[in-house]
A and B are shown apart, each in its own frame.
Chain A
């Protein structure tokens, strides 16, 4: 009797999950399996029907200079955007946590880049980075700073993308930290101030550790964003110059749609999936255990 009941209850649970599961199967699992399948085939303009080549596509990618560069770029992009935007967001949240009129205005203006679509942001920054009459050039000329060929040099294009991304994302992450701060009970701070703890000490010993769950959440969002968001590359650089701003997702798009190379695109997708899976495993099995909720 008891067993039957649990089965029944579980049944309802599964049934409630069914609608979401259908979407997951249609748009996540099925395409994933298809990509894995296609990654073993040579499938391009010459062979639209596909020819089985085993692991050749993987060998090709591992030897491909562009793919290596793209992986490297993505790593730099992640290292450049994730810690900086998290620290900036945390700093802004701690500073603006007190409800005052000016803080409300500041919060709104910091959050504002989040509501603009990335394509529009890219167009704004395209103008800022324009070498001859762009905003930065004018600014630099006025203050006697050196001109920087932001999007024209292999050296500067990545910093240009990183700055844009931080500008766009920090305000968004700030919201999470503000919410996180609301959950820290006030009496802890009161007792700390009675003990005469300094501001820096309070932050290091109270605020920062208690914000850790939020930080982890934001970290995951930021990390996946660094792989997921490539809209600005379409608008600003198309991966150039010489693939210096090419990221893995754009590389996949390029191979699939511009070059028509389905096999290589599928193989790169599979590699991306494996990397993301590894990151989430590390997250759930290692980082998660070190945080006290």
Chain B
């Protein structure tokens, strides 16, 4: 009997332990999904209430994912817009901003969350993420919302910025933080080296670069030019050279690429030669974040970088600098880049409506103008440049308008179905070229082959 008691006790103990484990397991799952549940519960409640009465006591909560990929206090700025919006819509809408890292990280997080049934309500993703997001059917077209507004609403956006956000006649996003690449140059150094103006063609670029390189005891102390290069974003930095040489890297449908086109090969070769033949640029990969630092420290006389870095450079430069459009070989001068605003599909209608309100707020002239001044991104609408603030700013600092003016000569950013794999295939081979492990032609043929494999079926 005694032993029986003991064993009974042990049995109960073990069962309790098991039970505890299971509940602990369950409760942790609950915790992660509870937010989601309350959200949908709230939404349900609101729909019920809305059908009876228009007023609802609980505001719509929106989860807003955003990335930061240029220097400066960009995140704080985004948070301040959110705060402003929340104050204006007190009691109705609450936007919760979620900083999600780089563009790639933001997309990954949004995809994973949506897959798990916990989709964000809206977010900023690359304009080129459109194929991924629509192939997976994660995002909502915005046409119906646009139709509710005046016609002038959509006409106000710069057409080049709207390019590429339509598939099958449906528009899926609106531009927010858009950039082009521009040439930053150190005016003082150019003057000192006898370069009269910023180069406008490839020949002028080489010529100017050679004058600007400074050597001491056989070692370069100042480069003529630096271009960010290498890594997963390498495709973005090499694409302008292809465009300048008159070739589009992908078709608008996103099903074909031209990586081994003779003109692409020529463009990549030109880039390679800038370092190895003309010696105006350092060899090998160059970090995206390191280049503005080098420019500001006077280690390079010119750099190619996003307009998104303009404000950062302006604040930190201790010398007179200029900004100009990229030199060309006859084609467009630059590609576009940057992020658009997307609304997700798997959320209640109230949330979609509220998300649209937030998008209207973010693209309103005042915010677009302020955002452009704070970051250097292009003001997305014409009326943004009509605001007194941005007008005065451009007058005093004409460089701020270079990116906008360059829109006339800008081509669409490389975007295809299965975009991650295709751009990676291209970027990897660019890495192989600049580190000297493959010839340009071999590398581009391999890139084409790998990209075609990734595009099979689309």
Contact = CB atoms under 8 A, between A and B. Distances in A.
Interface string B132-147: 1001100000000000
Name the prevailing secondary structure of the B interface residues. Answer: helix
B136 A48 contact: yes
Given A46-B457, A130-B290, A260-B136, A240 B417 contact: no
Contacts of A149: 284
Contacts of B131: 45
A153 B435 CA distance: 6
A139 interface: no
Most chain B CB inside 10 Å of its own CB: which residue of A132, A242, A244 = A242
Contacts of A260: 111, 132, 136, 420
Interface string B294-329: 100001000000000000000000000000000000
B54 interface: no
Interface stretch (A12-20, A160-168, A185-193, A195-203): A12-20
Given A152-B230, A242-B435, A19 B17 contact: yes
A62 B14 CA distance: 48
Contact of B7 (A8, A45, A151): A8
Contacts of B435: 152-154, 241-242, 244
A257 interface: yes
A236 to B, nearest CB: 11
Query: Which of A18, A152, A259 has the largest count of B CB atoms less than 10 A from its CB?
Result: A152
B262 interface: no
B27 interface: no
Question: Which bracket fits the contact residues of B?
Answer: 35 or more
B118 to A, nearest CB: 16
A16 B136 contact: no
Nearest to B131: A45
B299 A132 contact: yes
Contacts of B135: 45-46
A195 B253 CA distance: 84
B279 interface: no
Contact of B21 (A23, A152, A154, A242): A23
Interface string A29-43: 000000000000000
B15 to A, nearest CB: 8
7 contacts: A12-B14, A152-B230, A241-B431, A257-B108, A257-B111, A258-B104, A258-B108
Interface of A: 8, 12, 15-16, 18-19, 22-23, 26, 44-46, 48, 65-66, 130-133, 149, 151-154, 237-238, 240-244, 254, 257-261
